């Protein structure tokens, strides 16, 4: 907080609990996934699109194909690395868009109050009643397969998650003495909100964004799994699983299970991270 006394903060830092193992593992996994995606051209042993029907459905551990191959003989490890790009960037886009929208609308509702608040809150309730995957499928029906339209649709769909939290925190914080004093000093409403209120809400925003990232990842991967998301030759983890469906029924599940585990671990990691941030907010709240 802006008004924390330095001595108190130092004592608090000493008492701070050690970072739990799960959180360290989660951060490590997310960094590793992001790095392999970014460095895929350097790290990938094969081209992600090089097919070889002779090598099709090689099990994991085969020489030259560490994680095996899919039904057209493409290297699963290389596809996993390249697939990390869209699989991670698309949910990030959703989180950033819904973050901006949710923060702006939440702050507006909290600071304006009155009928603006009433209308915005009602709108958020209405968006909330529209299941996110259903809205995403509706825009795919309109604009055709691809990721751009679903990313925008999901961003709208997740805006209430953040908007509601931002609104309630902004109302609480706005009533605190430091906001009163800034106002008394004659600072404008916009300036106090952006310069002083917003920075104090960063942990809440981060915690909520981490959870939204997990939801967005599952929704986008579901779309790709259903053949409504990324279009070939582009691939993400969801479309890899979709293409592995027939191989799974033939008893060679590797090429589908591996990207599935990648999605699962990413979602678990962001959830662990989000809960850790959320938990530290709660702990700090108890202290004051």
125 binds other proteins (CB under 8 A): yes
Minimum gap (Å) between residue 2 Cβ and other proteins? 32
Minimum gap (Å) between residue 249 Cβ and other proteins? 6
Give the residue, chosen from 3, 50, 112, 141, that forms a contact with other proteins under the rule CB under 8 A.
141
238 binds other proteins (CB under 8 A): yes
As a whole number of angstroms, the distance between CA 154 and CA 165 comes to 18
Q: Which residues contact 223 (CB under 8 A, 6 or more apart)?
A: 133, 136, 137, 140, 150, 229, 238
129 binds other proteins (CB under 8 A): yes
Over the range 224-260, which residues count as b (16 or more CB within 10 Å of their CB) and which as e?
bbeebbbeeebbbbbbbbbbbeebbeeebebbbbbbb
Binding flags for other proteins, 161-190, as an x/- string (CB under 8 A): ------------------------------
Query: Is 78 buried (19+), middle (13-18) or exposed (0-12) by CB count in 10 A?
Result: buried
261 binds other proteins (CB under 8 A): yes
227 binds other proteins (CB under 8 A): yes
Give the residue, chosen from 165, 221, 230, 240, that forms a contact with other proteins under the rule CB under 8 A.
221
126 binds other proteins (CB under 8 A): yes
The interface region with other proteins, picked from 56-64, 122-130, 198-206, 279-287 by CB under 8 A, is 122-130
248 binds other proteins (CB under 8 A): yes
249 binds other proteins (CB under 8 A): yes
Q: Is 224 within 8 Å of 91 (Cβ atoms)?
A: no
43 binds other proteins (CB under 8 A): no
Q: How many residues does the chain have?
A: 288
In the bound state with other proteins, the residue whose beta carbon lies nearer, of 193 and 224, is 224
The CA radius of gyration of the chain, in Å to the nearest whole number, is: 23
Region for 276 from its dihedrals, namely left if φ exceeds 0, alpha if ψ lies in -120 to 50, beta otherwise: alpha
Token digits for 260?
């599935």
Token digits for 147?
């990721």
225 binds other proteins (CB under 8 A): yes
Residues near other proteins (CB under 8 A) are 122, 125-126, 129-131, 133-134, 137-145, 214, 218, 221-222, 225-228, 238, 241, 244-245, 248-251, 253, 256-257, 260-261, 263-264, 267-268, 271-272, 275
């Amino acid at each position: 907080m802006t008004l924390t006394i330095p001595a108190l903060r130092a004592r608090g830092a000493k008492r701070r609990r050690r970072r739990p193992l799960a959180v360290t593992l989660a951060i490590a996994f997310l960094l590793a996934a992001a790095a392999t995606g970014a460095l895929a051209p350097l790290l990938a042993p094969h081209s992600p699109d090089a097919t070889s029907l002779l090598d099709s459905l090689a099990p994991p551990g085969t020489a030259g194909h560490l994680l095996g191959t899919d039904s057209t003989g493409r290297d699963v490890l290389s596809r996993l690395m390249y697939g990390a790009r869209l699989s991670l960037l698309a949910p990030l886009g959703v989180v950033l868009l819904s973050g901006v929208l949710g923060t702006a609308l939440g702050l507006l509702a909290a600071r304006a109050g009155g009928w603006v608040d009433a209308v915005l809150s009602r709108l958020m309730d209405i968006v909330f009643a529209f299941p996110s995957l259903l809205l995403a499928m509706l825009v795919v029906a309109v604009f055709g397969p691809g990721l751009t339209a679903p990313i925008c649709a999901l961003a709208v769909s997740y805006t209430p998650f953040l908007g509601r939290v931002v609104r309630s925190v902004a109302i609480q914080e706005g009533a605190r003495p430091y906001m009163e004093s800034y106002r008394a000093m004659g600072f404008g409403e916009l300036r106090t909100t952006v310069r002083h209120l917003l920075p104090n809400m960063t942990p809440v925003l981060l915690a909520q964004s981490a959870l939204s990232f997990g939801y967005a990842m599952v929704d986008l991967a579901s779309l790709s799994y259903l053949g409504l998301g990324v279009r070939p030759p582009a691939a993400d983890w969801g479309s890899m699983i979709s293409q592995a469906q027939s191989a799974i029924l033939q008893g060679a599940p590797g090429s589908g299970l591996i990207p599935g585990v990648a999605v699962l671990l990413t979602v678990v990691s962001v959830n662990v991270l989000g809960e850790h941030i959320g938990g530290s907010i709660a702990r700090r709240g108890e202290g004051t």
